[in-house]
Amino acid sequence: MKKILTFAALFAGLSFAASAQTQDSVKKEVRQEMKHRKQVRSGHKMGKMQSKTPEEIAKMKTERLDKGLKFTDKQKQDIYAYNLDQAKKWKEKQEVRKADREARRTEMKAEREEFLKLLTPEQQETLKNKMAENRKDRMDRGERNHHRQMKRRNMDRKPVEKPVEETKSIDSSNS
């Protein structure tokens, strides 16, 4: 009797483990498909916007809004002026971000070279191999945009609010 119960428990455990693995693989496939769709959509739009002039961007946005909202001629002019102003600001910010990114890259490259000067050639080779292995592992796990994903996760978190300590009030009646 004990053997039958043991085999039944073992069979139930194996069945549960097998079904959990298939669900995980299905979920992973669905997540990857959704991620791919999102990247295609967002990358496509960003590529379009980056190659356009502020005037073209403002015109596109105004026309797209006009289709649904049916602006008057005066509203079209005002909306176009607003969109043009926003597009110019966006382009300026984009240029600043690009310059900052380039500066960070050169700074990081200089720091990396300075660090490598401190290592022996054997240590440099070991570090190079380890970094390549880590990169390959991340690629195998599908974390091609690992840093972006971590940044997004951190941005999505809400800051933890610390409870405010209550101050003890002094009762004037106890004096």
Whole-angstrom CA distances from 164 to 118, 138, 157, 160 are 48, 42, 21, 12
pLDDT score of 27: 72
pLDDT score of 47: 57
pLDDT score of 126: 95
Nearest to 65 by CA among 51, 80, 46, 55: 80
pLDDT score of 137: 87
| Tokens coding 9 | 């428990």
pLDDT score of 96: 94
Question: pLDDT digit string (tens) for 69-82?
Answer: 899 999 999 999 99
Query: In the chain, which residues have pLDDT < 70?
Result: 20-26, 38-49, 143-175
